[in-house]
Copies of this chain bind each other. A is one copy, B any other.
């Protein structure tokens, strides 16, 4: 069997000790980072390790050290978003960079089906990671239950589900940022402002709608809100078509994400509306989408890489024994370009 053969070839502590002319105990102390290894022994062991090609067996060390130096990163997103949402990539890379600095390996676990949920929960229980970053947690989910039951060091990007009251998390102020960009759009002289409101079943989506409503106050008109299921280009295009049919006199649109805004701009052009002359459009994210639209998009810059890095830091804090649940809130800023 392939695996067995591979393992039989692997150099052992014994080979290193033989080559270095020291005891196996000394090699073990060196490998486990303990003190009391003389400089001479250390040098001989390092040369021997390079020569015989020894690699410590992490699975065996886990049992002794109870550490894998690995941190899981769970992405629980709809199939299409995982493929087309640039934020997820930025969050991943931000977390990876921070964990890498701390010499931890990030292992991304994708939840795409119900079956994945159960299996990821088993994997987390299996001791193959020391902790976990969770994006888009669901409240009544086997993953959340396992994290709680094992008290696995964890941090969430976004608010943790209800049950996870002891969890650490990193958020942005979706409501405040949505309110700020809606006010800025209104200040360009628009009087019939609509919203394409995505993902209302999630905090981020509900909070962005709530900020929009707050900014408009008395001028808020709920017939100008078009709910769409996902933060996606096609949801934005389809939502804008429906909204235009219902409210052809609309002169401003807040799209709940940049991808949604890009789809909305496409639908406005189809319908012969000029952006920004006839309709001003603003988005949310400042992802790669914002530089691809014509005209370039006015939007809220969300610190996606910072969210990943922040959550990674909170997990590392917990691994160092800091048990206090921590909420970290990152700032957003408005980036004003030419679409409104």
Contacts and interface: CB of A to CB of B under 8 A. Distances in A.
A105 B127 CA distance: 13
Interface string A81-111: 0111010011011001100100101111110
Contacts of A66: 3-4, 7
A96 B294 CA distance: 36
A109 B110 contact: no
Contacts of A153: 2-3, 6
A49 B79 CA distance: 33
B83 A90 contact: yes
A6 B5 CA distance: 35
Interface stretch (A17-25, A34-42, A213-221, A315-323): A315-323
Contact of A89 (B82, B125, B128): B82
Contact of A294 (B3, B53, B119, B266): B266
Contacts of A294: 266, 269
A1 B318 CA distance: 9
A126 B57 contact: yes
A236 to B, nearest CB: 11
Contacts of A63: 59-60, 63
What's the interface size class on A, roughly?
Answer: 35 or more
A127 B90 contact: no
B6 A126 contact: no
Contacts of A152: 6
Q: Which of A113, A123, A318: most chain B CB closer than 10 A?
A: A123
A84 B79 contact: no
10 A-B pairs with the lowest CB-CB distances in the bound complex, closest first: A58-B126, A83-B89, A108-B108, A59-B127, A107-B107, A55-B125, A59-B62, A6-B151, A105-B123, A1-B321
Interface of A: 1-7, 9-10, 53, 55-63, 66-68, 70, 72, 79, 82-84, 86, 89-90, 92-93, 96-97, 100, 103, 105-110, 112-113, 115-116, 119-120, 122-123, 125-128, 130, 146, 149-153, 233, 262, 266, 269, 288, 292, 294, 318-319, 321, 323
